[in-house]
Amino acid sequence: MSKCIWLTGLSGSGKTTIANLLAAQYKDKGQLTCVLDGDQIRLGLNKDLGFTRSDRHENARRVAEVAKILVDLEILVIVALISPFSEDRHKARALFQPGQFIEVYVDTSLKRCATRDVKGLYTLQENGLIKNMTGITSPYEIPKNPDIHLRTDTTDAIECCELIKKHISV
C-alpha cells in the first residue's frame, strides 16, 4: 500500500502521536512506513527555514516532494505537519495519483492544544518569545473538505488510527 497520509492541525493537536502509532501498527503488519514529522524535518532538511509565510510554504513543499519520492518507492508515508495553508496542502495532493494522498484534519481546540503543550510553545508565545504562532498570531486555514476529520478533544489516538485505517481500506 503506497500512500501519503497527511496529518494537519495545530501544534499539540495530536498529529505526531497519531502518526507514530499508525506507523507502528502498519510496520507490525510488514508494511514499510516512514513518518515525516515537522519538528524532526526542521532539525535537518528544513533547518534553514523560519516561520514566515514564505518559509512555511517552502517547508510544506519540501516535505511533499520527499513524501512523493517515498510513496513512489512503495512506502506508506505519514506526514505530521501543521501545514497551515490550504494552498500548500492542495499542491501536495497534486503531486500524487488519485487516492494516494489522504488529508487528515486533526481538529482540537486551541485551549486543549495549549494544555498538551509538551514543547512549551504556547507558554513561550504568551510570554512574547515566539512570533508567528500558528492559530494565534499566524493563520491556520482549516481544511474545508479533508478526507478524514479527527476530533482529538473527544477521540483518543488509538481510535483515530482505527478511523484512518478504516478509511484507507475502503
**Catalytic site residues?**
83
Q: Which DSSP string corresponds to 4-20?
A: EEEEE--TTSSHHHHHH
**101 touches 92 (CB < 8 A):** yes
Residue 47 DSSP one-character state = T
Grid cell of 1 as nine digits: 500500500
Q: Which residues is 78 bridged to in the sheet?
A: 5, 35
Q: How many residues does the chain have?
A: 170
Rounded Cα–Cα distance for residues 60 and 126 (Å): 26
